[in-house]
Structure 1
Amino acid sequence: MERLRDQEIVVRSIKETDLKTLWTLIYKEENPEWKLWDAPYYEHHSKSYKEFLSEKNSWIGNNQKKVVEINNRIVGTVSYYWEHQPSKWLEMGITIYKQLDREKGYGTRILKLWIQYLFDTLDLVRIGYTTWSGNYRMIHIGEKLGMTMEGRLRKVRYWDGIYYDSIRMGILREEWKELNK
């Protein structure tokens, strides 16, 4: 994969030299702050660096996961997975791990690069993601990118004593093309 670039943002394949940083951001802490936004209702488990390295093949050379850099510093990851590959139903995700890198418009710019890349390289008619109503940032990013709220399952995510909705956002290829002429 070539590097996707927007000014100081780069989305690129994961290299072996990235693994220590990724482990530190994702698995070193038992309760990392980023998990408060990324499906906190699912349990997070820290792991040793040795454990993480045993899974390195799922990171390096995996076309479905990419690292995100801002000013040559790893700040996050983007990914996609097949909800149902035979029908070409693809879902994507993004995580920006440190609070200091959020609320600066990076998420929107990163996902714009990622969506364009996915439409350019895969035979898809739709790209989407699922979030939860507590993650107002992801809902706002989807709206800024022209995505439609395709579904809201009410009060199906229980976390910290509160029920939240599951939110599904999506955009069709023709809608994306029209918005990005």
Structure 2
Amino acid sequence: MSYQENELTIRPIKDDDLERLWELIFKEESPEWKKWDAPYYELKQISFEEFWEQRATFANPDNRWAIVIAGEVIGTVGYYWEHEPSKWLEMGIVIYDPKYWSGGYGTNVIRLWINHLFHTLPLVRVGYTTWSGNERMIKVGEKLGMKMEARIRKVRYYNGEYYDSIRMGLLREEWEMNQIFHKDR
């Protein structure tokens, strides 16, 4: 299974993708993408061999997929259960390659991923958590009709400054009424 829109594809991660993903995520000590994706959490540089040993947890086809532009892996999109018995799911996206930032790819990926999640899982809501320093991610949610459900003030400390934690969400009935989600039908 995969979803495609123009040159953009989201699909399960393949073993052939792992070397590229390692290069994007773990090869550099301080990759540029980490300044935007929860920079208050440490990222440990690891060897490809270490990454290969962890591949089963990283490349789970059920909950983490590759973001591919014109055949090149540029990021990942995924989800995790905040509380599975109540179907509380959180999703996330990272476009690791900066040349694909601010081009609308993130918005399209999240739209395709929300469609996938609502079509394949019995969910009432989907959402994600970001931080107030990542204004692009907040704008993605707003463009897609998501609501800011929570703003937890000054709980993320980065580079000597406190930031807010931002939780965005979308209900199934809001998704069903919003035609932006149904472009791929």
With the shorter chain as reference, the TM-score category is over 0.9
Which letter maps to 1:136? E
Q: CA deviation at 1:59?
A: 3.2
Asked whether 1:164 is paired with 2:163, we answer yes
Cα distance between partner residues in 1 of 2:92 and 2:11: 15
Q: CA deviation at 1:30?
A: 1.1
Whether the 8 Å contact between 2:59 and 2:65 is mirrored in structure 1 is no
The number of equivalent residue pairs is 180
Cα distance between partner residues in 2 of 1:60 and 1:178: 33
Asked whether 1:7 is paired with 2:23, we answer no
Unaligned residue ranges in structure 1 (runs of 5+): none
Which letter maps to 2:127? G
Give aligned-pair identity as a percent: 56
Single out whichever of 61-70 and 28-37 deviates more from structure 2.
Answer: 61-70
Give the alignment's Cα RMSD to 1 decimal.
Answer: 0.9
- Give 3-state SS (helix, strand or coil) of 2:76's partner: strand
Unaligned residue ranges in structure 2 (runs of 5+): none
- Give 3-state SS (helix, strand or coil) of 2:108's partner: helix
Which letter maps to 2:64? K
Q: Look up the match of 1:81.
A: 80
Q: Look up the match of 2:92.
A: 93
Asked whether 1:114 is paired with 2:113, we answer yes
Q: TM-score of the superposition, structure 2-length normalised?
A: 0.95
Q: CA deviation at 1:61?
A: 4.3
Q: CA deviation at 1:60?
A: 3.7
Which letter maps to 1:47? I
Cα distance between partner residues in 1 of 2:143 and 2:59: 31
Q: Look up the match of 1:54.
A: 53
Q: Show CA shifts across 1:19-57 (max 9, x none).
A: 100100001111110000000000110100000000111
Cα distance between partner residues in 1 of 2:72 and 2:18: 13
Cα distance between partner residues in 2 of 1:121 and 1:101: 28
